[in-house]
Each structure stands twice: as C-alpha cells, then as structure tokens.
Chain A
Amino acid sequence: MSSGMSIQRQRYLGRRKRYGAAVTITQLLLLVLSLALWELLTDIGVIDSFIMSSPSRVAATIFRLLADGSLFLHIGVTLLETVLGFVIGVVIGAIIAVVLWWLPFVGRVLDPYLVVLNALPKIALGPILIVWTGAGMKSIVVMAVLVSFVVTAVTVLNGFMTVDPDMLFLMRTLKASRFQTFVRVVLPASIPDMVAALKISVGMSWVGVIVGEYLVSKAGLGYLIVYGGQVFKLDLVMTGVVILCILAGLMYFGVAAIERRVVGELTHGR
C-alpha cells in the first residue's frame, strides 16, 4: 500500500500518526494520574476523604447504588428529563426562529425581548416554575426547555439572517417565492448554524435539568448531589458529579459527531 508513496510522504504520515497517538496517550495519562493523585493524597491523609471523597470511595458508591438498583433510576430520570428538555427546547427555539425570519416586522418588534430573555439567568425563574407547574418532573423539564430554547432561537435566527445576500438575490432574479427561498437556500445554508445550536443547547439542557433537580426532585443525579450535600455524604456528591461528567461528555460528542457528518456531507459529499 505504501509502495506508491514517496519517502517524504511516508515520513510525514508517520509523524502525523505519532503526534496524534502522543496526544491521546497524554490525555489518558492525565486522567489516570489525577485519579491516582486524588486516591494517594486521600489515602495518606493529606486531604480529608470525608470532605473530598476519593476514587475508590466513588467506585464503592457506584457499586452500592448498582446493587440496590437506584443508579439506573437516577441516571434514567436525569437522562429522560435532559433529552425531553433538549428536544422540546430545540423544536420550540427552531420554530420561533422560523417565525421571526418569516415575519421580519415581528422579528424587529420582538428583538429586544429576545435579547433580555437571552441575557436573563433563567434559573431565577425556578421558584415561579415550581408554583406554576408543581413540584415534579414537569417543572424540571420546563426549566431545561426554558434554558435551551432562547439560545437555540437566537443562534438559528442568526444563521438565517447571515445567509449570503448574493444567494438571496439569485432567488429574487428567479422570481422565487419566500417559501422556495427558505426551503432551497436559507434552511440548507443554515444547517451548520443549526448544528452549532444543538451543541449549545445540549449543554444548556443539562444545566436546566440539574438546577431543576436541585430545586425540586425525588430522583435524578441532581437530586443525588443535593441530597448527598445535605446529609454530608460527599461520596454521593462526587459520584453524581462523575457520572454527570461522563453522560454530558457522551452526549456532547454524539452531537459533535453528527455535526462533522452533516457539515462534511454538505460541503464535500456527493
């Protein structure tokens, strides 16, 4: 396979490959070393494992939660809330963006409201939500929707508004209707922005769900963290945080993978 390649090319490819491998190995090493350091420092008593917990105690907690079956309950509840909040938030945000693009007057009128809504820490609305929607999963999902839909609307609308004016002029010379322009040009041209909006709102949904669970919940990772804090079981808190890290990371990489595929398909594919 490499027979057709020049020596320089082979060296270049080899260098690239080694560099990539070095990055991955260092990344893993960093993770293992920090876990080992954490474990070591708590073991020899430099830091208090009652306050800081430790990797072994986190692992033990995970096994304990696995054994009594509550681990998957908490993960399941939080995941369900996040996915619901994310999907509903994205759909509402996208619909708002389309409406505001379609009706420029409405867009102009609502612009300052959207700006304020975007700048407002939606978490401040938590207490109101509990009163309005009751203390349950509903208010947590609403919180996640609230946190994610505004940023989705703003990002997607921005994508719609920054479509190449030459393309819009082209559609005018073809006497295209607004619908045709939207479907054939504005929407496909904004797909990269829409995927970027997905990426942002995944993170936002997690924020909304965890904050919602802090305020009202009987189960979920946020509940686990708050409960652990209240009864001073820092093992529980750390366990919740660690699982949250893994889940949020997986979800983000999932969306990023979709982004690479979609954007690559748009520009280079057949």
Chain B
Amino acid sequence: MQGSLIKLSGVCCSYQTPERETDAVRDLSFSVDEGEFVAIVGPSGCGKTTVLSLIMGLMQPSSGSITVRDGSKCGYMLQRDSLLGWRSVRKNALLALEVTHAVTPEGEAKVDALIKRCGLSDFAGSRPAQLSGGMRQKVALIRTLSTDPDLLLLDEPFSALDYQTRLTLSDEVYSLIKSCGKTAILVTHDISEAVSMADRVLVFSNRPATLRYETQIYEGRANSPLERRNQAWFSSYFSDIWEELQA
C-alpha cells in the first residue's frame, strides 16, 4: 500500500428538495489506500449513495474536505446496468471512452480484451436485451473499467440480480478488479457480500450517515469471495457487523 488514494475528513452534506432539507452525511471521515477494497454497509437510505456522489464530485460537501490523489480518476458502477438498448454490447462497453473522446485503437483493444476475459466475445455484436442480468452487469463493469479509473465506486452492483448470479458474479468481479490492481469502494446492504469481498468493512449509522464501526478482514486476502463464505471466521465477522447495525 502506497498511502491513501482518497481521504474524507469531517465531511458533512445535506441536500435540498422542495419539501425538506435532508441531512445525508454528518462528520464522516475515512480514507482508502491504493489497491484496497473497502465495503460500506449501512441501513438502506442511510446516505451511502450520497457518499459515492460526493467522491465522484457530482455533489459538493457542505463542510469538510474530500481529497483525491492528484490525477486519479473515478469510475462509477450503478445498481442498474443502464445499458443503451439500441447499441451493441461492444458499443455499450465503448460508451465511456466515446464520451471522453478516447476511442483509440489501444482503448478498443482493451475493451475487446475485457469482453473476452468476461466470456462475452460471442455476444459482442448482440443487443443488451439478449443478455442475462449478470452478463449485462459485466458489460457495465467493462464500461466502467474501460477508462482505466484509479478508483472504482460500486453502488450496489449486484443487488438487482438473483442469488446465484450474485455469488458467481461477485467472484468474477472481485478477481477482475484485483487483477487490474484497482482500488474499489463497494456500497451494499448485504453483509455477507461485504465480508466476502472487502479488505475492510465500514459500517454506517442511520441517516445522517457517519462512520460507526470498521473492521479489517485480515484473513480474507488469500481467498476468493466464494471461498471466504466457507471459512470458519466468516460468520464471526458477519455477526459483529450485524450487531453493529442493530445497535
């Protein structure tokens, strides 16, 4: 680990709607090291997504500071794949590059390699409608990875999928992210998903979100998410986090 890639200190954020002012985040501080995989769990509607929007720069904090290491880029992956139905799988994967005016032969080769790696080569010319939910989410991940972001923000990327797909896909996504050496922040409400994938788990309180508990998963490094689920230590992490969420 070569120091923190992103650092939040004393971040507060509230957002305005015509009906009310919502206090989404209060005095939140944490940092993420390069190459680290951090999971954020918390009750639903606790402002986890707001934190990702803040890091992404789509929202500004009301106070506090967010420092991203100079020159690093963020990539966002959403719960819904939002693939464009009128584009082929390959054209969808190239969308992020197109928007950043970076469709170069190397960029295309990289996307093609990722498509191959995800076992989607046969579907490169197909429309998203012909793909299963898990495959679609993989295309969304390729789209996110295509611009070579330093930090991946994963906003409940598996929660719209059925259980079996969720387990296998989290395994694949994990190995892809680790092999690319990416730093990632995963937001989820699924405790076992967090424990099975992350190096460190942050537990958020109810809204306004603040850091309530954090735990390193030291034992996990050697195992894939699926393997972790069978380890003896898995359930003790699970129950620790569970209790923090209940408190």
Which A residues have a C-beta under 8 Å from some C-beta of B?
Answer: 164, 166-167, 169-176, 180, 184-185, 188-189, 191, 266-270
Q: Does B56 lie at the interface of the complex (its beta carbon under 8 Å from any beta carbon of A)? A: yes
User: Contacts A173-B58, A267-B127 given: A184-B95 contact, CB under 8 Å?
Assistant: yes
- B35-82 residues with Cβ-Cβ distance < 8 A to A are 56, 58, 75-76, 78, 80, 82
Interface of B, helix, strand, loop or mixed by DSSP: loop
Cross-chain pair count, CB within 8 angstroms: 48
| Chain A residues whose CB sits within 8 angstroms of the CB of B96 once the complex forms | 174
A173's contact among B76, B88, B125, B129, by CB below 8 Å, is which?
B76
- Collect the chain A residues with CB atoms within 8 Å of residue B127's CB: 267-270
* CA of A191 to CA of B84, assembled, Å: 13
Instruction: Known contacts A166-B78, A267-B127; decide if A184 and B98 are in contact (CB<8 Å).
Output: yes
Interface secondary structure of A, over-half rule: helix
Task: Report whether A270 and B126 are in contact in the complex, using a CB–CB cutoff of 8 Å.
Answer: yes
Contacting pair B84 A175 (CB below 8 A):
no
Instruction: Tell me whether B86 is interfacial, beta carbon within 8 Å.
Output: yes
With A172-B58, A268-B129, A269-B127 known to touch, is A180 a contact of B82 (CB < 8 Å)? no
Instruction: Please classify how large the interface on chain B is, using the bins under 10, 10 to 19, 20 to 34, 35 or more.
Output: 20 to 34
Q: In the bound complex, do residue B88 and residue A270 qualify as a contact, i.e. CB atoms below 8 Å apart?
A: yes
A267-B86 in contact given A169-B78, A172-B58, A173-B58 (Cβ < 8 Å): yes
B-chain residues with CB within 8 Å of residue A185 when the two chains form the complex: 84
* Interchain CB contact (< 8 A) of A166 among B56, B82, B95, B98: B82
Q: How far is the CB of B179 from chain A (nearest CB, A)?
A: 23
CB pair B76–A270 under 8 Å, yes or no, is no
Contacts of B98 in A (CB 8 A): 184
List 11 extra interface pairs beyond A166-B80, A169-B78, A175-B99, CB under 8 A: A164-B82, A170-B78, A173-B58, A174-B100, A176-B99, A184-B95, A184-B99, A188-B84, A189-B84, A266-B86, A267-B86
Count chain B CB atoms within 10 A of each CB in A170, A174, A267, A270 and give the residue with the most.
A170
Q: How far is the CA of A236 from the CA of B96 in the complex (A)?
A: 62
Residue of A nearest to B97 (CB): A174
A157 to chain B, nearest CB (A): 20
Residue from the list B76, B82, B85, B88 in contact with A267, Cβ < 8 A:
B85
A249 nearest CB across to chain B (Å): 30
Chain B residues contacting A184 (CB-CB under 8 Å) are 84, 95, 98-99
Residues of chain B within 8 A (CB-CB) of A180 are 99
Q: Which residue from chain A places its CB closest to the CB of B147 in the assembled complex?
A: A174
Contacts of A170 in B (CB 8 A): 78, 82
Quote the shortest CB–CB distance from A5 to chain B (angstroms). Answer: 24
* Bound Cα distance A260, B18 (Å): 42
> Which B residues lie within 8 Å of A270 (CB)?
88, 125-127
B82: which A residues are within 8 A, CB to CB? 164, 166-167, 169-170
Question: Closest residue of chain B to A176, judged by CB?
Answer: B99
